[in-house]
Amino acid sequence: MKIYLDLVILLNFFFDFILLYGTSKILKHVIRLRRLLLGSLVAATSVFLLFIELNSFTLFILKFVISIFIILVTFGKKNFIKNISYFYLISIILGGSLYLLNISFNYKNKGILFINNGLSINLLLMIIVSPIIIFLYVKENILYKNTYGNIYEVIINIKGKKYKLKGMIDTGNQLVDPYKKRCVILVNNNIDINSNDFLFVPYKALNTTGLIKCFKPTSVFAGGVEFKDCLIGVSRDKFSLNDIDCILPNKFKESL
């Protein structure tokens, strides 16, 4: 059997490049092109393991060590566990998708039997389909994070009364009180808050100015993290966003 080594190395380089690129996009890393190329080149060299007689366990260990080196070369030491976890996750997604396509092309069923029909997805189709699979996965992953990744359980305690709410971080919520620069959590106007400890905070939105009634909480927890120096403002208009009860300030994103 003939093995075209240059072609195998190029294929490995191509697939590892789109895997590393997809990982960087999901994790929102700004990686220089030369680091992606260098990481892909390191990954492509693993093809030489094919010419070494190794048992399955040793081969697995070597591949894992190489993958560690690939991540370090491409992304560095920071957030290493997250980087390598997503790299493997995307690899599994791509590998599983291509395997499913190959099975779909390669077998046909007759009743409950599956028979090999002699077909398989060719190399060109793999090269075309692989970036599409990575693109769709990255797009859906980012959409999920933006939609549901910023939603947290919020517990607000005001004068001994506890409010258990569903909150979402909104980058547009930059509201702070001009007195002590405390950020403001906006709660829906159907949340009944009774307290004499309040103040009015001026706001401006879409060329509209006004005052919003804000309460001083005893404690605030969002996603299990306690936040201090914040106020609870009752929205003048009712908002309906996936059953969200309150809108958390953008500043909370630094700690969550």
Identify whether residues 107 and 184 lie together within a single domain: no
Same domain? 116 vs 27 = yes
| Cα–Cα distances in angstroms (integers) from residue 127 to residues 15, 133, 176, 215, in the given order | 8, 11, 51, 58
pLDDT at 101: 77
Does 175 lie in the same domain as 193?
Answer: yes
In terms of domains, do 91 and 109 share one?
A: yes
Report the C-alpha gap between 131 and 149 in whole angstroms.
Answer: 25
Residues 195 and 128 placed together within one structural domain of the fold: no
Same domain? For 17 and 127 the reply is yes
Domain that holds residue 195: 151-254
Q: Are residues 102 and 160 in the same domain?
A: no
Name the percent of the chain lying above pLDDT 70. Answer: 87
CB neighbour burial string for 214-245, b if at least 16 within 10 angstroms, e if fewer:
bbebeebebbeeebeebbbbbbeeebeeeebb
pTM: 0.63
Dist. CA 46–CA 140, nearest whole Å:
30
| Tens digit of each residue's pLDDT (9 = 90 or more) over 43-57 | 888 877 767 777 888
- Average pLDDT over the chain reads 84
H/E stretch holding 113 reads strand 113-116
Q: Which of 202, 139, 145 is nearest to 169 (CA)?
A: 145
Question: Are both 162 and 131 inside the same structural domain?
Answer: no
Q: Are 71 and 84 in contact (CB under 8 A)?
A: yes
Q: Residue 115: exposed, middle, or buried by beta-carbon count in 10 A (0-12, 13-18, 19+)?
A: exposed
Question: Of the residues 148, 177, 212, which one is the last residue of a structural domain?
Answer: 148
Identify the domain boundary among 122, 148, 174: 148
Structural domains of the chain, count = 2
The last residue of one of the domains, among 148, 179, 213, is: 148
Same domain, 117 and 218: no
- Together in a domain, 166 and 54: no
Q: Please check whether residues 79 and 169 belong to one and the same domain.
A: no
SS3 for 155-195 is: EEEECCEEEEEEEEECCCCCCECCCCCCEEEEECCCCCCCC
Least reliable range by pLDDT among 87-91, 99-103, 239-243: 239-243
Q: Domain check: are 181 and 137 in the same one?
A: no
Mean pLDDT score, 29-58: 85
pLDDT digits (tens, 9 = 90+) for 74-85: 999 988 999 999
